[in-house]
Chain A
Amino acid sequence: MIAATGGCASPFHAASALDFIPPAEMRALQLARLQATVRRTHQRVAVFRERLAALGIAPEDIRSLDDLSQLPFTVKADLRETYPFGLFASPMEEIVRLHASSGTTGKPIVVAYTREDVDVWSNVMLRAFAGCGLGRGDVIQNAYGYGLFTGGLGAHYGAETLGATVIPTSGGNSARQIMVMKDFGVTAICCTPSYFLHLIERAAEMDVDLRELPLRTGVFGAEPWTVAMRRRIEALSGIRAYDIYGLSEIIGPGVACECPAQDGLHIFEDHFYPEVIDPNSGRVLADQEEGELVLTTLSKRAMPMIRYRTRDITALASGPCACGRTLRRMKRIGRRSDDMFIIRGVNVFPSQVETALLAVEGTLPHYVIVLSRRHGLDEMEVQVEVTPEAFSDKIGALEELTATLVHAIDRVVGLRVQVRLMEPHSLARSEGKARRVIDNRSLV
């Protein structure tokens, strides 16, 4: 059951038992939990209660899982409008943790956890790691950022609960990451796939061949990446690279994760009930049909989410998986149904950049965001036109303007990006909806 050293930990960890139960049993468990969640949320969250009342729905009307489709959606704007605590279903005395992620207006979205929620989170992250073949004896380097972002602590608790050795390196300081990886006998790493690509390059510069290290597993998430990029990572580093999915609004990382079959992400559906809908009509789609992922938390206490629209585009699959798990699977996330983009693990909306640019004198409200990938790292360049007033015959004055813009964007978005001053009228004007983001990141 337990490997003496990293390398052959059993994927059948005791905590993973629910990964393998017959679908009928899972449905019964889901229905019971859904009914309890709807009742409790109705009782404790005024917004939800008012919405059900307006629709003439009572919690008792949820008699089957199909009845879920009668309930209204929850969207990101609901979290902003009720900022900070309006959707909490537990009193602060029962809440043991708050996290936050960025929102469109610069205001973050706040999410809360009770003791039980943290345990659920640890449980699903444990099952995610176990599904990637990790267990006691593994040394896991956690290079997700620790802080308000859910990635760092979510992975940390899961790996500790699994019984693995956790090294909380957090993000950044690549040379030290490589040193730790080499000297501490790291067998698995968690971070964004683009950061790992960067580490591969840094290792080569330091004459460290990752293929000769004990490192054999990567659990990568928090940004979209393709199968082709997975192949590249696996070939360059000699590891197996797994895709993990999650979002703060639901719990953080650990909503779904790949297994050794690497054929879709198993959703921990005893805690998160998935639906895929047509993003325009809201109609629930059948298995294999591509649409927007909608998630309902089945056990979350501090901040239950009923039919949360993730904006992530995927499709569900119910068939048996080669790994033996009966948990339904979702396709890797390739795109989102809104204009938000993720760069270096940070959610960015074009409107945030616009707000920052407009706060600085000297530029025209004509801008475009160009995303690219260089040396395995995501780059964001904001191209913006200069006003005649701001133009100077002195280089220094224009460089100062650039620096001011970089700082203004950093303040709102939380990222230092490139700013390129452009001639007036040099950026394409659109006749309809402006194309603010040009994404040249080839996910290869």
Chain B
Amino acid sequence: MKIRQLSLFLENKPGRLTEPCRFLAANGINIRTLTLADTRQFGILRIVAPEPDRTAELLAAAGYLVKVTEVVALEVPDQPGGLAGVLEVFDHSGINIEYMYALAAGHKGKAVIVFRFDQPDLAIERLNAAGVNIVDSADVYQG
């Protein structure tokens, strides 16, 4: 249910983003989606890819600073108010959304948003109760 996302620490300098992408390509790993959070001095590259734990090991062995974090992918109706409706589930819940980003390919023609919650298990409980469709991790990894 939860997705294991990889985060890479990158120094903010020209060409730094190419290296991990090239490394994953060389190992035949298809990046499903990625997003870069950056500051003036450093960036955090967040990646969703198949076999996350093995990929993380490969990256770490290659000298990358990598961390695995659990995130949740939600189907969001691709229409006005679609995202707002999903977010309302967390109103007054005490659950904090640390960050979120879109899954590049979507899922079965629907929009998919990846959420990093501070309390993922509680969030899933709420989402299930509200009838929001949580995308299965296998579908996210393989497309």
Residues on A lying within 8 angstroms of B by beta carbon are 386, 388, 391-395, 398-399, 402, 420-426
Please pick, from B37, B65, B67, the residue contacting A423 in the complex, using a CB distance under 8 A. B65
Q: In B48-80, which residues have CB < 8 Å from any A CB?
A: 60, 63-65, 67, 69
> Given known contacts A386-B65, A388-B65, is B39 in contact with A395 (CB within 8 Å)?
yes
* Known pairs A393-B116, A398-B39, A422-B11 / 19 extra A-B pairs, C-beta < 8 Å: A386-B9, A386-B65, A388-B60, A391-B67, A393-B7, A393-B44, A393-B69, A394-B98, A398-B42, A398-B44, A399-B39, A420-B42, A421-B9, A423-B10, A423-B11, A423-B63, A423-B65, A424-B65, A426-B11
Whether the pair A421, B98 counts as a contact (CB closer than 8 A) is no
Whether the pair B11, A395 counts as a contact (CB closer than 8 A) is no
State the Cβ distance, A38 to closest chain B Cβ, in Å. 55
B-side contacts of A392, CB under 8 Å: 7, 67
State the Cβ distance, B58 to closest chain A Cβ, in Å. 15
CA separation between A420 and B116, bound complex, in Å?
26
> Given known contacts A423-B9, A423-B10, is B42 in contact with A391 (CB within 8 Å)?
no
CA separation between A425 and B63, bound complex, in Å?
8
**A-B CB contact pairs (8 Å), 30 listed:** A386-B9, A386-B65, A388-B60, A388-B65, A388-B67, A391-B7, A391-B65, A391-B67, A392-B7, A393-B44, A393-B46, A393-B67, A393-B69, A393-B116, A394-B44, A394-B98, A394-B99, A395-B37, A395-B39, A398-B9, A398-B39, A399-B39, A421-B9, A421-B42, A422-B11, A423-B11, A423-B63, A423-B65, A424-B63, A424-B65
A-side contacts of B39, CB under 8 Å: 395, 398-399
B-side contacts of A425, CB under 8 Å: 63
Please pick, from A388, A393, A394, A420, the residue contacting B41 in the complex, using a CB distance under 8 A. A420
Residue interface bits B82-101, CB-to-A below 8 A is 1, else 0: 00000000000000001100
Number of A-B contacts (CB under 8 A): 47
A-side contacts of B116, CB under 8 Å: 393-394
B-side contacts of A395, CB under 8 Å: 37, 39, 44
CA separation between A402 and B41, bound complex, in Å?
10
State the Cβ distance, B17 to closest chain A Cβ, in Å. 13
Q: Report the 9 A-B pairs with minimum CB-CB distance, sorted nearest first.
A: A393-B7, A393-B69, A420-B41, A391-B65, A395-B37, A391-B9, A421-B42, A391-B67, A423-B65
CA separation between A398 and B8, bound complex, in Å?
13
CA separation between A421 and B67, bound complex, in Å?
16
A-side contacts of B46, CB under 8 Å: 393
B-side contacts of A393, CB under 8 Å: 5, 7, 44, 46, 67, 69, 116
CA separation between A395 and B7, bound complex, in Å?
11
State the Cβ distance, B128 to closest chain A Cβ, in Å. 24
Q: Which residue of A lies closest to B118 (CB)?
A: A394
A-side contacts of B42, CB under 8 Å: 398, 420-421
A-side contacts of B69, CB under 8 Å: 393
Whether the pair B41, A421 counts as a contact (CB closer than 8 A) is yes
CA separation between A399 and B65, bound complex, in Å?
16
A-side contacts of B60, CB under 8 Å: 388
Q: Which residue of B lies closest to A422 (CB)?
A: B11
State the Cβ distance, A420 to closest chain B Cβ, in Å. 5
B-side contacts of A426, CB under 8 Å: 11
State the Cβ distance, A381 to closest chain B Cβ, in Å. 9
CA separation between A395 and B37, bound complex, in Å?
7
CA separation between A315 and B69, bound complex, in Å?
62
B-side contacts of A424, CB under 8 Å: 63, 65
State the Cβ distance, B91 to closest chain A Cβ, in Å. 22
A-side contacts of B37, CB under 8 Å: 395
Q: In B4-32, which residues have CB < 8 Å from any A CB?
A: 5, 7, 9-11
A-side contacts of B44, CB under 8 Å: 393-395, 398
State the Cβ distance, B11 to closest chain A Cβ, in Å. 6
State the Cβ distance, B18 to closest chain A Cβ, in Å. 15
State the Cβ distance, B143 to closest chain A Cβ, in Å. 23
**Residue from B63, B65, B69 having most chain A Cβ neighbours under 10 A:** B65
CA separation between A394 and B63, bound complex, in Å?
20
CA separation between A424 and B59, bound complex, in Å?
13
CA separation between A421 and B46, bound complex, in Å?
18
Q: Which residue of A lies closest to B39 (CB)?
A: A395
